[in-house]
Chains A and B, each alone.
Chain A
Amino acid sequence: MNERGGRLGHLIPVLLFVLFFVLCCGVLTGVFLRAAALRQQTEVYSAAVQLCRNQAEQYRAGQAAPGSYWYDEDFRPTPAGEGAYRVEITQTVQEQAAGQLCTGEIRAYDQKEQPLYALEAAVFLPGEEAAHGE
């Protein structure tokens, strides 16, 4: 009986250590998962910034009309509704004395339609040019 009690007494520190080890592993796994989630958020945000910037330059150059554009994770255009990102351009036109000042509001959304980033790009078109994007 004493020998059995001694064995159990010997196992208690081992069990405590195993419990401590498992707890530490759980905490560290949580930390790694949190870092992975943070990295994923950063990648999505950076992609949204890049897509908005590209779209703004195309808008200024007159190559992007108001509307929605879909892109996959590699920034390749995809058919409507199938991409990982949606970039939307809405336009306001102000008549100026010598032409038009077109301002495009460019917004990027993810698949769940959560807004990721927004940018405003303006371009002045002299009077002889047609309305932007038309």
Chain B
Amino acid sequence: MENRRFRVGSVAVLFTVVLLCVAIFAALTVTTALADERTAQRYGEHVYRQYACENLGQQWLAQARAYQAGLGPLPENTRQEADGGLSVSIQGDSMELRIRLSPEGQLEQWSCTPQWQPEEHWQLWQ
């Protein structure tokens, strides 16, 4: 009887350890899946913001070309360069688009970059 109790207890301990290990793996799997989902959502939002900002750039391009052709006024926030070219910096939702048009209407710059905001509240080295 004592032997039988001893054997059952060993199996119980073994199964408990196995359960604990599987539970840890399950927690890690769910954590990873949630992190992947958050990353995918953020990427989707980033792509949406980038295209929204570039769409504003296309609207500016339409107005700037009209201005260069003498068909419309100078678009807002547009800087006229010394050589006659036009440039603008469009602030989107956490994105910045810089465009530069040559006097002939050729695109010389079209750079859309996310605005990086440093975290200044963390004190990692103090």
Residues of A in contact with B (beta carbons under 8 Å apart) = 10, 13-14, 17, 21, 24-25, 28, 31-32, 34-36, 38-39, 41-42, 45-46, 49, 52-53, 56, 96-99, 101, 103, 117, 119-124, 126
Contact = CB atoms under 8 A, between A and B. Distances in A.
Contact of A124 (B36, B44, B61, B68): B61
Contact of A117 (B37, B44, B58, B65): B44
A99 B65 contact: yes
A74 B72 CA distance: 47
Given A17-B12, A119-B51, A32 B29 contact: yes
User: A interface, by DSSP: helix, strand, loop or mixed?
Assistant: helix
Interface in B52-86: 52, 54-55, 58-59, 61-63, 65-66, 68-69, 71-72
A21 B19 contact: yes
Contacts of A122: 54-55, 58-59
B8 interface: yes
Contacts of B41: 45
Contact of B72 (A10, A34, A97): A97
Given A42-B37, A45-B40, A119 B30 contact: no
A32 B47 contact: no
A56 B33 contact: no
B51 A120 contact: yes
A35 B30 contact: yes
A44 to B, nearest CB: 10
